[in-house]
Amino acid sequence: MQILITGGAGFIGSHVADELLRRGHRVRALDNLSPQVHGAGASRPSYLHADVELIKGDIRDRVAVQRALSGVDAVYHFASAVGVGQSMYEIEHYTAVNNGGTAVLLQELIERPLERLIVASSMSLYGEGLYRAADGTAHEGQERSLDQLRRADWDLRDDDGRLLEPLPTPESKTPSLSSIYALSKFDQERMCLMIGRAYNIPTVALRFFNVFGTRQALSNPYTGVLAIFAARLMNNNAPFIFEDGLQRRDFVSVYDIAQACRLALEAPGAAGQAFNVGSGRAYTIREVAAMLAAILGRRVEPEICGKYRVGDIRHCFADITRARTVLGYQPTITLEEGLVELAAWLQDQAADDRVAQASRELASRGLTV
């Protein structure tokens, strides 16, 4: 097949390209080589496979999208502005790229027959994950009040004030959109599934959890938390953590993400559905910071700021039952294994630590509590 990956020169897109090339497909990437991700004046990344045809262009540019779609059999739509915190003050940009760019792509796709459309969605659309009360009943986590957060009372409770226990979050959990980024990813997912159904384009949405691995944009302070921690540690600074560091997340290797993306192309029963793609395991942010510091040989304690960042949630980790059952997805890389490889890759990398600058941006707008 001839396959287009929008955002295909980025972290996840380039790994998916490798996976598809190994399966004998031809791959084209449409990417604007955003300075926030690739650096100023960026050219073709050295890690992008030589067999990938790269078209430099913006997902909002109809002419570039038309050119990229020429002769294509399937599309992976990964092009997005990424960052929960930044999305809360660059509202127009995030909406234009994520919502508007998806609209441009879909407008062109309704004129073309396509074997499959796969869109990168996000765990951020869940907001808080699923919880269990003391009596055993399931609760969908609700947004915490500002009064609670100002007291540094981070955990979710039931109506009687008892702690709720976090559970793996299934796809059936009602979305709770706590940031512009989350809203835009939900829109991307629903727009693609809706137009796919209307125009008979088999469409699959993959809800990525916290993806980590080689090729992450280390100097982007709004990227994945492990890349941000790495940039801090590489500059001899402590990892910077909001709240108390005990919030729990699901960290999934980019290789397992690439596996799920390939399966979404092949699985006959996948069309029309959304799937969680995670590891199925939960770690606290504090644990992950300590693991990465130890592997990198840095003896430094994380900086726990005790503040809340607007748009953040307490706990969310994946129930991957549906992906296992329908796609045949099975995570193969543990967090520990993935961090060892990440640390080895970091030895030859440089990173600008821009976390303090990003934190000031948020604080100046009242987006930290």
Q: What phi, psi does 314 have (nearest 5°)?
A: -85, -60
Contact 123, 278 (CB under 8 A): yes
Contact 179, 311 (CB under 8 A): yes
pLDDT in tens, the chain (369 residues): 999 999 999 999 999 999 999 999 999 999 999 999 998 888 999 999 999 999 999 999 999 999 999 999 999 999 999 999 999 999 999 999 999 999 999 999 998 889 999 999 999 999 999 999 999 999 998 889 989 999 999 999 988 889 999 999 999 999 999 999 999 999 999 999 999 999 999 999 999 999 999 999 988 888 889 999 999 999 999 999 999 999 999 999 999 999 999 999 999 999 999 999 999 999 999 999 999 999 999 988 999 999 999 889 999 999 999 999 999 999 999 999 999 999 999 999 988 888 888 888 888 988 898
pLDDT at position 182 is 96
Q: Residues with catalytic annotation?
A: 181
pTM above 0.75, yes or no: yes
- Sheet bearing 138-140, strands edge to edge: 138-140, 130-132, 165-167
- Written in H, E and C, the secondary structure of 214-269 is CCCCCCCCCCCHHHHHHHHHHCCCCCEECCCCCCEECEEEHHHHHHHHHHHHHCCC
Which tokens hold the place of 318? 């994946």
Instruction: For the chain, give the number of residues.
Output: 369
At the fourth CATH level, which superfamily is domain 2-364?
NAD(P)-binding Rossmann-like Domain (3.40.50.720)
Neighbours of 145 (CB within 10 A): 10
d(CA 31, CA 8): 6
Alpha helices in 23-155 (DSSP H): 35-38, 62-69, 84-87, 91-94, 101-109, 146-150
Neighbours of 35 (CB within 10 A): 11
Where do the structural domains in the chain lie, given as residue ranges? 2-364
Rg of the chain on CA atoms, in Å: 20
Alpha helices in the chain (DSSP H): 11-22, 35-38, 62-69, 84-87, 91-94, 101-109, 146-150, 180-198, 225-234, 254-266, 285-295, 321-322, 335-346, 355-364
pLDDT at position 44 is 95
pLDDT at position 7 is 98
